[in-house]
Structure formats: structure tokens, C-alpha cells
Structure 1
Amino acid sequence: MSNERPWLNHYPDGVPAEIDINQYASVAAVLDEAFEHYRQRIAFSNFGKSLTYGEIDALSRQFAGYLTGELKLKQGDRLAIMLPNILQYPIALFGALRAGLVVVNTNPMYTARELKHQLTDAGAQAIVVLDNFASTLQEVVGETGVKHIVTTGIGDLLGAKGVLVNFVLKHVKKMVPPYSLPHAVRFSDALARGAQHDVPKPTLSHDDIAFLQYTGGTTGVAKGAMLTHGNMIANMLQAGAWFGSKIKAGEETIITALPLYHIFALTCNCFIFLRFGGRSMLITNPRDMPGFVKELSKTKFTAITGVNTLFNGLLNTPGFDQIDFSSLRMSFGGGMAVQRAVAEKWEKITGCALIEGYGMTESSPVATINPLVDGAHFSGSIGLPVPSTSISIQDEDGKHLGIGEVGEICIQGPQVMKGYWNQPGETSKVLSADRWLRTGDIGRMDESGYIYIVDRKKDMILVSGFNVYPNEIEDTVMKYPGVAEVAAIGVPDEHSGEVVKLFVVRKDPNLTVEQLKEFCRENLTGYKRPKVIEFRDALPKSNVGKILRRELRDEKKTVTAG
């Protein structure tokens, strides 16, 4: 199968088999082009404040001037950014990339231990941090190599309104724990100082690292995926070619609710739409679903990205079905399996199909997407490989399997990372000598080249020698009307090795265990049926809202079938 590319025969009209990665020398060149073409167009909006491409250009130049002129950071030095979706994020991001620095995206929700590991592992010399999370940084900064700290408040770029926002967050909502970072510089001061300096023009190549994007926290200690300028350019061009004329230059407004520090939103919302002069609506706290729905009701948006839990949350929030969806043309799901029940309800309410794609941090992230064609509906597949990408289903020994055979999904293409930062051993576990990336996801390919995920390798449940895939169980149970969210894991059992345990968040408070078990008896074969069902008020989730089955497994509740 490695030499066949059946998917090419099923590409939408106009989508090329290959992209020309040499179109841009670096991500900075992509930025320069967008700033020049779309100067008057709004680039980012947040809390009612908007900045044009021209304004972002000027502000990010000032920030680059600060990093190199004041802090004397050199090409290849690492800058950590610990911010949610606020206007300061793209300014810091673009400033760092224009200065030739390596961006270390840092989850603001990190504990002190996780933060220390990442800053130390990356060798970060500087960090931009939101006031709300500065107390965490204070705990560990002395044990890291960080020499320079820039702090900022959510309201700092919002004008007069921002003063009020900062006051309320700190003194009314008590969301800014006190901290002491005596040598920190405020973001606005950094911009003012940076304006005094010329912006360097570093010579960047495709091989230079643009991001250390940390991943694998779900499988142990987080590792920094080295994503190069070439990787990021490739993925922008691959997705851009795939969307083709569906993206209208200078006319798109995309809802950015997933955090930009996560690779999905970083590439798909920020960079892909930036090339086309898109406007990104930054949602700072999407967990406040009523507030999120209110924001959506104020804007005519054309595109939205999300994970299954985000779409499901919106669908279950009062007022969502009253929003004007007449401009919405693109809804993209990824990051975790999109459940059919959620996708079908999304299309019914919004009139826009929920199109699933697939990728991972190590592939910058997009590897496959379903075709964006008129009349498309949710397919249950993760789509076809994007241009210049090959997908192979392989067995444990790296042998390429045939059509319909189930094995590990492997990716090859110019978007695949250079490797893990300072981790050659870990790199060799996932990257073969001929640059096939082992994803850890189990799947199959059909005769047309469509890929179907069966499940995560590590989440598979083994019941009496039968493989049970949690995705299938969860997908089935989600069809029951009284269920809001569900997670399936395997728990030890003395008779069958493991049995399926379900964790369910109820939509209907009267839902009983027996009702669910009866539904499962009708819809699942014997060994797949959950033997244990536990109701919960909430399920543990990652920073992007992905349900963490691992945390449920780690509770180590050994139960026998009951």
C-alpha cells in the first residue's frame, strides 16, 4: 500500500496532489505577505476590541524590537508564551517569529510542576505571562533559566474598558492571585521600549525551529515536538489548497474558541486563515458557555473550529439555536473523535455540516480532512490525506497493511516534525528511518483512501481476548437522549481480564443505570456492553476539552462485573 495513493482519485476538483513548500522561506514571510495585502482588514477581535492587520504588523514589530533590542535575545533563543486567547497573544507570537525566536507555547492552566518541567526542558530565557497565572510562575521561576518576564492583564489592550475589566477580574472576581515578580516588565512598556529599536531581519530556513510544541502529557512527561518553519508552511499550504475556493480571501470571520497555544487552533485558526486575510474572533473563556453563545449572537461568522465536547456544549446551551447561522459555511471538528449524534444535531441546527479532520501535534497538525464539497455531510471518516501527504496502515513491525486491514495509522509528509527536543530515544519510537510517524491511533483505510479511526492504541479495552474500542461504545451511548457526555474505559475483571465501565454525565436527571444498560443490550454485542455504569457531574478534560480517559483509569477503582 505504501506506493499506492488511492485517495488522489477522490480529491475535490482543483485540489492538487502536491504543494510547493518553497512558496515561502519562513513563517515570517507569510506574515509579511498578509500584513501587506490586508492592512485595513480586521485581523483579531476580542471583548469588542479589534485590531487590523496593519496594527498587528506595527505592534508585533515593536515586540520583536523589544525582544532583540532590549533583551538581546538571538535567533533560535526560546520565548515561552503563557496566555489565553487575548489580543496580546498574536502580537507576542508574531513578534517572536519575526525576531527568529523559537516559540514555546505554554498552557496557562499548568501546575507549578508542569510549568517548571516545560520551561527547564525548553531552555526558555523569557516568558510572557498573564497576571492571572503569574503566581504559578513565581513559584518556580528561580529554578528555571528564565531571565526576562513580561506580564500583562486581560484588559491591557482594550482601552478605557480594559481598566474596568482588569479591576473587576482582580478585585471583584478575585481571579488574579497576588504575585511578586520584581523585575517583570509590563506588556505595554515592552511595546513602547521596542518601538525605539529596528527590527532585525533574521535569515530563516525551512529547517529552523519555529515552535517547541509540548505534547504527550497524556502519556507521561510532556515532550517538545520540534515544528520547523517548513513544517508550519507545509501545513498552511496543504490546508489552504484543500479548502481552495471555499475560503474567500478577505471575507472570512472564524470563531477561535480553542486556545491558540494548542496546535489545532494555532495552525487552523491563526495561520491558515491569516494567509487569506481572515478575521479571528478570540474567545477567552469558552467554558463560560452562556457568555460564549452571547458572543456568537453578536457576529456574523463564516467558520468555526472545535472539539466534540465544545460543539456538544454549545448545542446544549440555551439560546444557541436562536443564533443567525446564515453566514456559516465551514465547521471543522478535530482533536478527538466527533460523535455522530453531535455532528447530526450540529448540522440540523446550524445548517452547516460538521467536517472532521485529523492530525496531531507532531504533524503540525493536519494530516487528513474530509472533502469540503457541496452537499457534504458528517461521514464518520477522518477524511483523505491532504496534498503531499501519505497515510499508511502498519502493523507492529512497520509492515504496510492492505485495504480494510486494521493497524496503526502512520503519516509521512513535509508537515511531520523534526523530532522531539533533546529526546532522540523518544523520537526513534515514533519516527521511522524513512520518516513515517507512528500516531498511536488504530485505524483502517477503505478502497477510496478514506481513513477511519478505530481507537487510540492505549485506550483499547481487552474483554476475553476481544478488542473493544471506547469510541464505538461512547458513540453508541451518546445517541441515548438523556446522555450529555460519556467516557468508556476498561477496568480489571477476574473472569474476562477487563470489562467496560461507563462514566456518564446526565442530561436527564431521571436517567437510570438500568435504562442505559437496556439501551446497550439493544445496540451492542455482549462483550462490548458496559458492566459498570457510574454517573458523574462532570468528566475530566484537557485544556482543549478532550475527555481524559486516562484520568478515569488512574483512579484505579478495581471493580468486578456487577
Structure 2
Amino acid sequence: MSSDASLYPVSVNPELLARPWNALYSKAAQHAQIHGLPYDHSHTLIDMFEKATNDYANNNAFINMGHAITFKTLHSQALAFAAYCQSLGLQKGDKIALMMPNVLQYPIALFGGLLAGLTIVNVNPLYTPRELKHQLNDAEVAAIVIVDNFIATLEAVISETSVKYVINTRLGDMFSPVKRVLVNTVIKHVKKMVPTFALQPHISFSQALRLGSTMTFSPVPIVPEDIAFLQYTGGTTGPSKGAILNHASMMANLAQVATFLDEAIEPGKETVITALPLYHIFALQASCLLFVRYGCTSVLITNPRDMDGLIKTLQKTPFSILPAVNTLFNGLVNHPEFAKLDFSRFKFGLGGGMAVQKAVADKWEEITKTPLLEGYGLTESSPVATVNPFSIDSYTGSIGIPLPQTDVKLIDDNGQEVPLGEPGELCLKGPQVMAGYYQREDATAETIIDGWLHTGDVATIDDKGYLFIVDRKKDMILVSGFNVFPNEIEEVAVMLDGVLEAAAVGEAHPTSGEVVKLFVVLKDANISEEAIIKHCKANLTGYKVPKKVVFIDELPKTNVGKILRRELK
């Protein structure tokens, strides 16, 4: 690895070198901790994109429903889209929203927008009109690329937003002519997945690419401080806020993660299953940008809730890496066909977005014979902050150790650091931390204090430097003055054979303040409330044992798979 000063312009905090987790670093991570992150800090995501599409031009970049585009094609189509955006009069810094599931149009529009100097605003396609209106207005979006399936939602609010240009597309529009007609016909007329709408889009995505390919693109000067993404938080603690993620923070995070994964990933050779939606920060970075950087192939799964369809894709694909959340891992290991898959090329699963449960991780490793690497991050940290070293033999129950150049501290309610082993709010500092919330100075000041990002997550740290998430502060249950963390209750509940999923919440109680109420999804209908409570009593202190068990068919979740405890409350 080069020690050229141009690659390491950032002065290193000497305090980082004394942190206990340094002993767990690979050589690459140790080098980055001592000398700085190994990349040119003047480079942007565009520099990364140009290099990858040149170096791996003939490799498949993305595959969706069996249709592939190479890095060369991705580059030419992104340029065409960028040229078309310029023809609309969109200027550097203007905001363009992407409201799509995982389809080939997404990476083309993403990189095309970045090439044009635009700021990408990712939008959850399942938003209600109220949620969509808030995000479009808050981000001051000028243009949107949207799949027809969701135009009715946009139609309901567009007159009350800043959106000037609507570019529509259908799920199958990037496929060959025959397949395009087949897919689009089935989705619209057979599955009835496209609601009726009267809104007239400005142009179709396919037309935009055709026109753009005949236009001259004018390169836009982009610097690391320019905003690449306004990435909106989930809004579980109030109105959704736009985290300002500039090219610098995203590039730093890519370099940080690479110091952990370089030893496992063979550039240009891996096949990544992208079942998580690319509009979510975890998939955006860990499935899209990271593997574009590595020149690898990403298989886009449009509907990950179709577990049978996902399994069929895995049966046909020699996959090697699978980033996912606990609920997806759980769904896979409980599918009867999953254990029959060919795992000869598979290297690891990468868990994030929510806590991975031990029962799920154990079953995953039993079937795949590979580790499930759990990490931790949040929108505000671009997103990865910690991850388990690739050297682990099995599930650790930990979210791992901080990435190089990332510092952590755990504090109590008075802002004082807690002793080793004691729970405290996890605070982060590093080059991947956001610049702030868009036009929310007060919220930024509450979240970033003296350079430290306050995550709102409660964690502990052991003497080796491994971090363990206890729970979200906001989800804590208070029973007779004792803190009860839902994750612990849920972890125990799913250890019982016959329990598929569980979610714990607090319920008001006249004497103890709150008691634990457990919602359970069964895979064995013969499991009773008494059996679950007996199992919990055998594994939990008395005040943590659920007083009520409610059986439901499905837990409410975000589209990424996070359990919505607030809805259960």
C-alpha cells in the first residue's frame, strides 16, 4: 500500500491509536488507522464511478430479472441521462428524487444525476401522499424519476410541491423488446399493480435516454464538499429529516469498509445479491456503491418479499455475498428450499439495519457454513460505523469494532462517559459523519455535539473493543424503575422452537409503570401463551418476563424490514 502523502492528507488523532479495538484490525485497517484512509481525498463518487466503469467495462454491473447491463453500458446510459437532465436546465446542486424499487433504471439515474452535479434524494416508493409531500418539499426537489406503479401517489400532491419535471418508467423498460412487453403487460393487466392516474409525466425514462444519447454532455466540476445525497431518516422519532451526505463522507466510508473487506473480496469477480432496496442507505452504500467500486456484479431483487422468487434467483445465480437485515435472513433460513442451495462460492452474509438475532445467525451459519458479519450504522454516518472483522469464526452477538478513523464513546444521561462494560448512549466521530440535517440547524445541533454524532442507541463495549447494542433509547421499557430492552426479550422468545418472530413493547401498568407485552408470529400453531411465558421465565429475570403475549400473523415493518414497535404500541 502506498504511503504517498497525497493519499493521506488527514492528520491522525493520536488518541485513536490507543483504543482497544486496534489489536483486532487487519493489516490494512491498522495501516489506515495510523496513516489515514487509503484514497485520494480530492476524489468524488464520480471519480470512483469513472475508474470502475473503465477498469471493468465488460463486466456485468447490474442484473435484474435475468437482464444484465455491463459497466460500459451503465456509463454510457448514465451520461445520456446526465445530458438530458442538463437539457431540462437542471443545474449543479438541484435535487432529483428517485422513487423506484430495485430496477436497472435506478443505478442509471443515480450515476447520471451525480454526473450532472445533482443531489440525489432517495424516496421510499411505499410512501403515503403525506409522507411524499413532506420529503419533496423539505428537499426542494426539482425533478423526479418514478415508476408508474407509484405515480398515483405523486399525482395526489404534486401541485403542492416544488417538482417541475416528472420522468416516468415501467418496471420492465430496460429489458429486451419482447421481455419488456411481457413484464409490463403482466404487471399492469394481470397483477393489476399500476393504479389509474391522470398525471402526464414530462417524458419517459426510455425517451430521456434516447434523447440524451444524441446530446453533448458538459462535464460538471464536482468537489468532495458537494452534496451527493439528501438521505432521509426513517422518521420514527418525528418528521423525516434529510441527512446531508456529501461526496467526502461517502468516499471516506467506502474506503473505511474496504479496509475490512479487501482480504475477502476479489475485485471484478463477486456476485452480490441486492435484495434490500437501493433507496435505503445500507443497500445504497453496501450493495450499490461499494460493489461498483469493486467492479462486481449486483443482482437486483425487485420484490424481496417474494421469498419463493428470491430463492429461484439464488438457485440460478452463483452468488458470493448477501447483505441483508435480520428479517430477510430469518425468512431465508426458514424457507424449505434455502438449505438446498449451492453455497460453494458464497463468502459471507453482511447484516445491518437492525440487530441480527443469535437464533437466526446460528441457523444461517449451520446451513451456509459461512460467517454472518454483523455491522452497525445509521443514515447520519453514511452509514457504516462498526463491523465485525472478517476473521471471526462465528456469530459474536456484537456489532463489531469501529472502522478505521472512527472513534466512539458511551455516555450517560449527564453526558459523562460510562465505565467499561456499562451501557451508555453510543456517540461517533469520524469522516463518514454527515454534514448535518438539511435546513435543520436546531436538529443538527441536538445530534452533533462537539463533533460527536449522538446516535440514540444504547451500547456496551468490552475490554477487547467489541461493541454490543442494547437497544434504542426510545424503545426502552421501564418496569418498576428497571430498564428493560426489547431486543433481549425478542432474542429469548425466538429461541423457542415454533416461534418465528417476536417484538416486545411496554404497556402502561398502574403499579410498575410499564410491563412487557410481547407480540409473536408463530410457525407452529400449537405453541401457547403459557409455553412462551414459561420459556421466558427460564431465561429472563422476573421483571423482564412478558405479562401478555399477543399472537399476530405478521409484525408491522418498514419496507427495509425493521420492526415498527411504535405501531404495535
Instruction: Tell me if structure 1 keeps the 8 A contact 2:168–2:201.
Output: no
Partner Cα distance (1:358, 1:529) in 2:
28
Q: Which residue in 2 is equivalent to 1:66?
A: 84
Listed as ranges, the matches of 1:444-455 within 5 Å are 444-455=460-471
**CA deviation after TM superposition for structure 1 residue 184, in Å:** 2.4
Residue 403 of structure 2 corresponds to residue 386 of structure 1: yes
Q: Which residue in 2 is equivalent to 1:54?
A: 72
**CA deviation after TM superposition for structure 1 residue 216, in Å:** 3.9
Q: Which residue in 2 is equivalent to 1:199?
A: 217
Partner Cα distance (2:313, 2:404) in 1:
35
Q: Deviations over 1:450-492 (max 9, x none)?
A: 1111111000100000111111110011100110110000100
Structure-1-length-normalised TM-score = 0.96
Residue 28 of structure 2 corresponds to residue 14 of structure 1: yes
Residue 505 of structure 2 corresponds to residue 521 of structure 1: no
Q: Which runs of 5+ in 1 are unaligned?
A: 554-562
Residue 535 of structure 2 corresponds to residue 499 of structure 1: no
Partner Cα distance (2:198, 2:387) in 1:
46
Q: Which residue in 2 is equivalent to 1:247?
A: 265
1:541 is matched by which residue type in structure 2? K
Partner Cα distance (1:279, 1:386) in 2:
25
1:377 is matched by which residue type in structure 2? S
Q: Which residue in 1 is equivalent to 2:439?
A: 422
Instruction: Tell me if structure 1 keeps the 8 A contact 2:41–2:248.
Output: no
**Number of residue pairs matched?**
550
User: The residue matched to 1:246 in structure 2 has which SS?
Assistant: coil
Q: Deviations over 1:137-166 (max 9, x none)?
A: 111111101000000001101112111100
Instruction: Tell me if structure 2 keeps the 8 A contact 1:362–1:417.
Output: yes
Q: Which residue in 1 is equivalent to 2:194?
A: 176
Instruction: Tell me if structure 1 keeps the 8 A contact 2:167–2:201.
Output: no
Q: Which residue in 1 is equivalent to 2:495?
A: 479
Q: Which runs of 5+ in 2 are unaligned?
A: 1-13
Instruction: Tell me if structure 2 keeps the 8 A contact 1:340–1:380.
Output: yes
Residue 296 of structure 2 corresponds to residue 267 of structure 1: no
Q: Which residue in 2 is equivalent to 1:542?
A: 558
2:84 is matched by which residue type in structure 1? Y
Partner Cα distance (1:24, 1:384) in 2:
27
Partner Cα distance (1:403, 1:274) in 2:
39
Partner Cα distance (2:299, 2:363) in 1:
24
Q: Which residue in 2 is equivalent to 1:557?
A: none
2:236 is matched by which residue type in structure 1? T
Q: Which residue in 2 is equivalent to 1:161?
A: 179
**CA deviation after TM superposition for structure 1 residue 551, in Å:** 1.0
Q: Which residue in 2 is equivalent to 1:470?
A: 486
Q: Which residue in 2 is equivalent to 1:312?
A: 330
2:104 is matched by which residue type in structure 1? L
Q: Deviations over 1:239-280 (max 9, x none)?
A: 011112211011010000000000000000111111111100
Listed as ranges, the matches of 1:273-312 within 5 Å are 273-312=291-330
Q: Which residue in 2 is equivalent to 1:32?
A: 50
CA distance change for structure 1 residues 353 and 110 in 2, over 3 Å: closer, same or farther?
Answer: same
Partner Cα distance (1:392, 1:81) in 2:
36
2:456 to 419, 437, 440: 440
**CA deviation after TM superposition for structure 1 residue 20, in Å:** 3.9
CA distance change for structure 1 residues 26 and 454 in 2, over 3 Å: closer, same or farther?
Answer: same
Q: Deviations over 1:52-79 (max 9, x none)?
A: 00000000000000001x2110000000
Q: Deviations over 1:347-394 (max 9, x none)?
A: 001111111000000000000000001x52100010010011111112
Query: What is the CA RMSD across the aligned residues, in angstroms?
Result: 1.2
Instruction: Tell me if structure 2 keeps the 8 A contact 1:25–1:204.
Output: no
Q: Deviations over 1:285-311 (max 9, x none)?
A: 000111111111100101001000000
2:529 is matched by which residue type in structure 1? V
Instruction: Tell me if structure 1 keeps the 8 A contact 2:42–2:223.
Output: no
CA distance change for structure 1 residues 23 and 423 in 2, over 3 Å: closer, same or farther?
Answer: closer
1:340 is matched by which residue type in structure 2? K
User: The residue matched to 2:285 in structure 1 has which SS?
Assistant: helix
Listed as ranges, the matches of 1:115-134 within 5 Å are 115-134=132-151
Instruction: Tell me if structure 2 keeps the 8 A contact 1:2–1:400.
Output: no
**CA deviation after TM superposition for structure 1 residue 193, in Å:** 1.2
Residue 358 of structure 2 corresponds to residue 344 of structure 1: no
2:364 is matched by which residue type in structure 1? W
2:566 is matched by which residue type in structure 1? R
User: The residue matched to 2:52 in structure 1 has which SS?
Assistant: helix
**CA deviation after TM superposition for structure 1 residue 444, in Å:** 1.2
Q: Which residue in 2 is equivalent to 1:5?
A: 19
User: The residue matched to 1:14 in structure 2 has which SS?
Assistant: helix
Partner Cα distance (1:252, 1:23) in 2:
26
Partner Cα distance (2:364, 2:124) in 1:
29
2:436 is matched by which residue type in structure 1? G
Partner Cα distance (1:324, 1:50) in 2:
22
Q: Deviations over 1:391-415 (max 9, x none)?
A: 1112233323332121100110000
Instruction: Tell me if structure 2 keeps the 8 A contact 1:290–1:318.
Output: no
